[in-house]
Structure formats: C-alpha cells, structure tokens
Amino acid sequence: MSRISSSLELLSSKSPLLKNLPFSYPSSLFSNPRFPLSPILSQFAVLSSYNQRRSGSSSQDLEMEENKKKKEGMVGFNKRRAEGREAGEKRKTLQHKTPRLNPINTICYVQILGTGMDTQDTSPSVLLFFDKQRFIFNAGEGLQRFCTEHKIKLSKIDHMFFTRVCSETAGGLPGLLLTLAGIGEEGMSVKIWGPSDLTYLINAMKSFIPHAAMVHAQSFGESQSSAGPAVSFSDPGRATDRIVLIDDEVVRLSAIPLRPAQSRGSTLKPGDIAVIYACELPEIKGKFDPDKAASLGLRPGPKYRELQLGNSVMSDHLDIMVHPSDVLGPSLPGPIVLIVDCPTSDHMVELFSLQPLECYYVESSHHPGEGMRRVNCIIHLSPASVTRNADYQTWMKKFGGVQHIMAGHEMKNMEIPVLKASARISSRLNYLCPQFFPAPGFWSPKNNSFFPQPNGYCEDSSPALANRISAENLLKFHLRPLSQLGLDHSAIPSMINHKEIVDELLTEIPEIVDVSEHVSQFWAAESKDVMPKKAENIIMVEEPWMNEASCSTKANFELVRCKESTCLVDGIEKSGVTQNFDIPPCLENITREDMEIVLLGTGSSQPSKYRNVSSIFVNLFSKGSLLLDCGEGTLGQLKRRFGVEGADNAVKGLRCIWISHIHADHHTGLARILALRSQLLKDVPHEPLLVIGPRSLKRFLDAYARLEDLDALFLDCRHTTEASLDSFFSSSNSEHDKYQSQETTLFAQDSRMESFWKRPGSPVDIAMAEPLLIRLKSILRDAGLEALYSVPVIHCPQAFGVVLKAAERINSVRKTIPGWKLVYSGDTRPCQSLIDASADATVLIHEATFEDSMEEEAIAKNHSTTKEAIGVGSSARAYRIVLTHFSQRYPKVPVFDEAHMDRTCIAFDLMSINAADLPVLPKVLPYLKVLFRNEMAVDESDDIQDVAVQ
C-alpha cells in the first residue's frame, strides 16, 4: 500500500473520529496516483457526527455538529456513487450456464406464467421446463413479481425468447437482467433470442443495463436497416423458412417469423414482426430388449446406454456391429408444442398461408404418412379479438385433436388477480380503511367493452374445438414422461375473492371490527367540522403501541394532544424550528375533486410480492393527471387500482410524466405507458405527451421510439429547476446565478458533480428546450398548477426531486386560498436543497429505504433511513410526510420508530390519499399496524437481493 494509505492507517489509529467508518476504501484506490486525496479526507469530516455518536459524544456536541453541518451544506453520502464512478469498479463477466443434458428419462412440461391476465396490460409468459435446461417465452412487466410469489427461480433460466419485441412482451426484461446481474459475487446471464427488432430494444437499454448482461442477445431473421426505422419488402407474400435456434439432445427449437399482410412495396415497421415457436422433442426410443442384446454378444454395461442414445456399438463376443434398431422396439415420435402469437388481423392473413406450418396439419398433402409431425399442444398468445375470429378457428381445426390453450387476453380472466398476496393485503386494508384503500379495480370491472369484435367474430366454440381451454396461472401440459402426457391442473392456485379474504381477517383478528369502526369515526368527525384547535394537533396513538400484550387483547387507543412546544424531531428538540401543526390554509374548503395521490409502487430495487417499484399517480380529476416516476408494472398497478377502463382513461388524461433518475426501478414502465397512450389516442386529435427526466433518459426514449410509437416529447430536468425556469420566463440572470451558487453547495468544490451543475446549457440545448418550456407552462395552467420544478438531490448523476404547486383559488366568499404544495424526493440522501424546496409543503413524499439501524447502508447506497426522511420533513415544516421506497427486505411493514410519527404515514401499494383527508392521515397509522401485528420483517418467500447498479 502506498505511503498515503499508510498515513491514513496511522491517522485512524490516533483519532477516534476515524474509527468504525460506515464504509471502507479499497487499497487499489489509494495506490492510484490520479486519485486525489482531498475527497477521501472530506469524507472524514462529513462522517464526524456519525463517529461521535459511536464514541458517546454528548447531545450538546452532537447538536452543535449537526448545526455546523447544516450551515456548511454537508451531509454523509457516497460521493463516488453520486458522481457515477462507483459502477466502473464493478465490471464483471457474467456467468452463462452450459448445462450437461441427458435425453433419457427427462422431465419436460410447458407452463403458463400468467403475467397480466387480470389487468390485460402485458402478454403472459410461457415456461418450457427440462431437468437441466429452462426456457421462457416473453417477459412482460410483472414477471418477477409473479415468479417471486410462486417460488419460480428465474435464476435457473437459460434462454429467453420473444414472440414480438415491444413493451407488452418485453417490459420485464430490463429489470430481470439487472436482477440476474446482481446475483451472488459473479452475477448471471441469460441468452436472449428475438426477431431482428431485438436490436432496437438492446440499443435502448444500453443507457442503464450493464453491457455484460446483454452480450448473449441474438436476433434472427431478416435484418433491419440501420439507416432508418423501416425496411421495404418487395414480395411480402413469399414463404418464410423456419429458423432453427437450438438443436440439442433434448429439444429442437425453431422460429417461424410472421409478418403482417401488406400491399406490395409497402414498408415493414420495427415491432411488426411476430414469431411462432415450434418446440420439438426428439423421438422416444423403443423399449430396450436385453435378451436381444445378449443374443448379439453384448455384456450389460455402458454399451447398453450408447444404444439407447442411438449410437451403434461393437459386439463384445461377436465380430459384428450392433445397431439401435437391433435391440430397441419401435420408436414413438417426440411431443411437439407450438407457441403462436398472432397479434392482429393483418398477421392472421399471413398465418394461414405459412408453408413451414403445413407439415403439422393432419390433412397435409406435402408430408403424407410418417412424414407428418403430430402436434400435441398449441399455446395461443393471440388476443381474443383474433382467436375468436371464425377464420382463425377454422385454421385451428387443421391440427386435428391437438390441445389448444388460449393464453391471450380473455375476458373471463378479468376478475382473477394474478398477484394473490398483494390482492390479499389490498383487501384487508380496504376493510380497515376504505377511504385510503379503495376496493381494487379487479374485483368489480365495470365492463369489458375494450375487447373489439371484428368481422367474423365467433362467440361459441364449435364441437370440433372441444379440446380448447382457457389458460390459468401455473397450468401445465406434460410432455415427458410419456405416461403423463397431457394437462396438469394441480399447480393452479386456488381462487380468492374479497369476501373470503375478509372472513379470514375476522377470524384471525376479531377485534378488527372495532378498529374499523374507530377509523370510520374520523371521517364522521370531519363531517361535523370537529377539527384540532389552533397550535395543537390530535394524534391517535396506540397504548401500548405494538407490544406483546396488544397482540393478545383488543388494541387500546386514546387521544393525545401534542403541543408545539414539546414536539421533538430526531430525538432532540430543534432550536429555532417552530413545530406548527395547524391545518394549512391551502386545505380550507378543499373538495374531494381537487387532488389525490395514488401510490402505485412503494418498494425499491425490484418488484416483490407485496410492493411494486416506484410510481406515484397525481390525480387532478377533471384537470388531468401526472405520473411521478414510472417503474416496471406501473400500468398494471393503475389497472388494479382503477380497473381496465378506468386506467385507460387515466392514461389518456395524463398531462406529463416526470422521472427522477435513470435507475430501472423508476423508469422501465415508461415505454408501456407511452405506447398504450399512443394506441388509445391514435384516432383522436391530441398532442404528444411531455416526459421530463434526466438527460440520459432521452437516449432510451429515442432508441425505443424506433421500435414502438411512443408519441412523446422529452424535456431535460436541468431545464426545469426553479432557477432555470425563473431565468427563462423572467430573464433574470442575477437570480439564476444566485440559485446556481446554491445548487453547487451539494458537492465538494471542483468535484465532477459541481462542474456538472455549474456547466451552462449550450445554445442548442436552450433553443431546443424553449418550445418545450412554453408547452410545460401551458400544461400546468390547464392542470390548475402554478409550478413544477425539479430539485437536484444526492443519489447518482442527474438525480432529482420535484415540487408541484397548485394555483391559488377563490372560495365562495371571494377569499383567496393558496394552492397546495406537493414535494417528492425521488431517491436521495437527506440534503439541504430538498429541505429548502420542501419548505411549508402540504405533503412531502420522501424515500425511506432503510430502517434507522442501517445508516451505514443508507450512506453507501445514497438512500435515507426512516428517521432521516422524517427529519427532512420536520426541518422543512411539511404538514404531512409520506414515507415510501422501502427496501424489499421489509415485505409488508417497514421498521420505524413510532416516537416520530405524529405527522407521518407509511405508504402501501395502491394507497390513495385525497387532499381532503390529509388532516386524518397520521391518525390512521396505529390502526393499520394491527393488521400486521404477527408479521416478521422478512418472510420465507422474499429472498430479494439488492441490485448493485440500482
């Protein structure tokens, strides 16, 4: 180790402030002559308060240090991560498995992993299972959540295939690749197959997926031109040959491209190609006859196995070659499965004329007799609008008595929740407090009018299709052993409904009836204008909170008045900070049609059984809506909350989408939302949707837009900071310079991040942003908002929080009522810029990834603890604090200190907070904990790992 590192060791041994650092520096870092020492030493000063706590410093010293830290704008954080240099030290070559296969006695089946079957937002997945090899077809959003709940190990997958390359079929791929890359020390990789359009998806993911996770991606078929988004086909009706992708001892897997019917000379757009996959297992050898083998001079041993594998061997006692046909009975053809995705009626025309499928038709003249290959099972991923077409059903009859599994979007699946654990939690919360937890949309779909019925639509199946069934989650079709050939319903989860869940709850926690009545009284009191008096707040506290006694008896609640003068934050009284719990003027006479916050995803890193990843829907009712972050599965969560039709209306009503930073758990659901909105509005005059996000998000959108029509405009968050907006609209350069100097205090002088914020936008950037900023101003005005501006925070490069301010309103007596103020932190360490931006906020939604005892991990990952998040809100005098973005190590309820929850609430997925209910919000929390009194921090099914790159 260099002399510098030796000096640091000596220094740490002499100074108690340098002991027990929350994270260590590798020795290679000190030996790098290009690495400056000053950033390391600055960390020692940043972490001094942490070490004082560990060394027993007095509360007075601690308070002085905290005040000093605030004045200097210092906060404990991982500087390398904030500057984007951390990932470069973790480059690795991901493992790719090459299994040793055994074709004898192999177990094989196909299984439906019905992602999206209740919400119709993504294509279901299909698992092809072998003992030593596993394939998945399609990876729509929510695949990880489904597999986590049902204990299907995605780490065992060897290959992934896509029937189409679009957000519907591949929306879950980015998150899955990141999860696999983060497994263990070395990480894992999977081989990805798809039509030539796969190249566009890979290019779009390059901005946030490690290169090593995508090196095994392989496209097939006719290549698309790199010069433009479309390729012209001079003869669109010509036959397409099958493409053999895998041919090993256990399966021969072929792809048959399917293009939509087009007029001669027209162009084929990326994303139009569909693929039919044919999975053919090798023939089943006849039974081995040991008597015949003995008569041919063979001794029992390895040669018996060689003959069973189809290889000829030399006789042990006779001078002859023994062939497999000499000792084996007649062979049986291997089972065959087809996976068919025919997305539109235009594809259907081409499907009927595909020559590579003719060998599977029972009346085929091209392969008479033993040349015909008998299909055992066809899994149809096509939508109901296609499969119920009379011509499509006529085509299905060509395969004879094959088993048809209809796995596309079927109406009957609408009331069957895919994520049963999440649905169970939602129903229990709905029983306790329906005001904050409305009934999920899937229990009572209003109508199914979203299914078009084209010409030729056939309502009833004909007798010839009696072997047609609708897919169910985890339905299997066994292929081997031959004795089990056919359907297997044993793994299908049992049905659940709202009444069953409530009955179970009443049996488990009988006192929940009284608790629910207590909660409902809050709204009864609100209707009678029973509100807290000035300078005090009525808070509902459980006595005792959640101790052993309260688990065996009815919860005992009482009203406790908390005066301003006695309220504490972070365990110490904050000098100079007035704790004012008055109801803010902006809530005076507010209606239920003003603003509602719907927390669609409240978990971090990756989806889990109970919590999806980050997304917040701000419902402004008749004035439209906004999305703050858009993690994977956001569309599915919208449909679970509002129902299919309601969610479609919400998507159509979006005013803009704001993305905090370019981590997969915050933006990979964006393409699905944009693609659906474009589809829903294609016949209606409309404007492209404005997407505000970090600059790197534009690369993703630009690349993905070549694959699907996203119909979006992009605006860099840097142009939407308060200083930038003020400068643009008021041309006040002095104010702009003033705010820029405030922004740079986030990071050390002359650091990479400081230079990033100080760097002025180029004239080209400013010129391109100008029409978008004018558009933003118009959008805000129509939405009844006064301002939307981004706030730089400490997490990774180009990470932001956001502030929304509602416009003033005039009440019935012509009194001016100030607008509410909503602040969302994104991912961040506690930082002064966010505290300043959150001053007097009506609602602060702040990330609280870790519990208080995990401060070291929070610093290393640049996240916040629960206590730190509450401290930010208290310092900003926020009226209500909503904690979210919990680590998935807390599957249901995070760990937190009840002493500081007087204005705070814990977020749950699908929780809806109406602005009119904000005075009641903290009072409900103690009652919610009654639901989870028997829950542990982690259950046996949540083997979630933190993904390093996120």
**HEC readout, 110-122:** EEEECCCCCCCCC
Give a three-class secondary structure readout of 864-898. CEHHHHHHHHHHCCCCEEEEECECCCCCCCCCCCH
- The answer to whether the CB of 360 falls within 8 A of the CB of 375 is yes
According to the model, what pLDDT value does residue 59 have?
A: 43
- Per the CB < 8 A criterion, the answer to whether 625 and 745 are in contact is no
| Eight-class DSSP state of 903 | T
All residues at 6 or more sequence positions from 684 whose CB lies less than 8 Å from its CB, including other chains: none
Q: Which long-range contacts (CB under 8 A, 24 or more apart) does 354-358 make?
A: 354/239, 354/240, 354/256, 354/258, 354/276, 355/239, 355/240, 356/239, 356/240, 356/241, 356/242, 356/254, 356/256, 356/278, 357/256, 357/276
What kind and span of H or E run contains 930? helix 921-931
Burial of 104 per CB tally in 10 Å (0-12, 13-18, 19+): exposed
Q: Of 341, 328, 423, which is closest to residue 382 (Cα–Cα)? A: 341
Contact criterion met (CB below 8 Å) for 787 and 820: no
Say how far apart CA 508 and CA 536 lie, in whole Å.
37
Q: Are 667 and 675 in contact (CB under 8 A)?
A: no
Closest CA to 672 of 67, 100, 119, 108: 119
**AA identity, residue 695:** R
d(CA 223, CA 146): 33
What's the pLDDT at 390? 93
Q: Are 911 and 49 in contact (CB under 8 A)?
A: no
Are 348 and 342 contacting, i.e. CB atoms less than 8 angstroms apart? yes
Q: Return the domain boundaries, the chain.
A: 108-221+242-284+332-443+468-488, 290-326, 593-731+759-914+930-943
The tokens describing 246, both together, are: 């895998």
**Sequence-distant (≥ 6) Cβ neighbours of residue 469 within 8 angstroms:** 403, 404, 405, 406, 487
What pLDDT does residue 449 have? 36
For 637-659, give the DSSP string.
Answer: HHHHHHHHHHHHHHHHTEEEEE-
Q: Pick the closest to residue 673 from 144, 145, 171 (CA basis).
A: 171
Q: Which of 256, 162, 278 is nearest to 218 (CA)?
A: 162
Would you state the pLDDT for residue 756? 45
DSSP 592: T
Domain 108-221+242-284+332-443+468-488 has CATH 3.40.640.10: no
Same fold, 108-221+242-284+332-443+468-488 and 593-731+759-914+930-943: yes
Task: Specify the DSSP element, H or E, that contains 274.
Answer: strand 274-280
Give the count of beta carbons closer than 10 Å to the beta carbon of residue 646: 15
Return the pLDDT at 308: 80
Which pair of tokens denotes residue 256?
Answer: 């048959």
706: nearest Cα among 332, 77, 196: 196
- By three-state DSSP, how is residue 825 classified? coil
What is the structure's pLDDT at 267? 75
C-alpha dihedral over 186, 187, 190, 191, to 10 degrees? -50
pLDDT for the residue 370: 45
* Structure token digits, residue 630: 């858009």
The label of the residue with tokens 């996120």 reads 950
Intervals of the chain under pLDDT 50: 1-59, 61-63, 65-66, 69-74, 88-89, 225-239, 367-370, 445-464, 529-580, 732-745, 747, 753-760, 936-950
Alpha helix locations (H) across 47-82? Answer: 48-54, 59-71, 79-82
> Angle at CA 594, nearest 5°, toward 588 and 595?
105
Span 593-731+759-914+930-943 CATH architecture: 4-Layer Sandwich (3.60)
Distance of CA 817 to the CA centre of its chain: 38
Note the pLDDT tens digit of each residue in 474-523: 999 999 988 899 999 999 888 888 888 999 999 999 999 999 999 999 88
- What pLDDT does 237 receive? 37
CA distance 221 to 33: 50
Q: Which residues contact 475 (CB under 8 A, 6 or more apart)?
A: 111, 112, 405, 487, 488, 489, 491, 492
State both tokens at 9: 């060791």
DSSP state of 188: B
Measured between alpha carbons, how far is 289 from 324 in angstroms, rounded to an integer?
A: 10
CA-based radius of gyration for the chain: 31
- pLDDT of 667: 95
Q: What is the pLDDT of residue 10?
A: 41
- Return the DSSP state at 371: G
| AA letter at 940 | E
Our CA angle for 413, 910, 127, nearest 5°, is 40
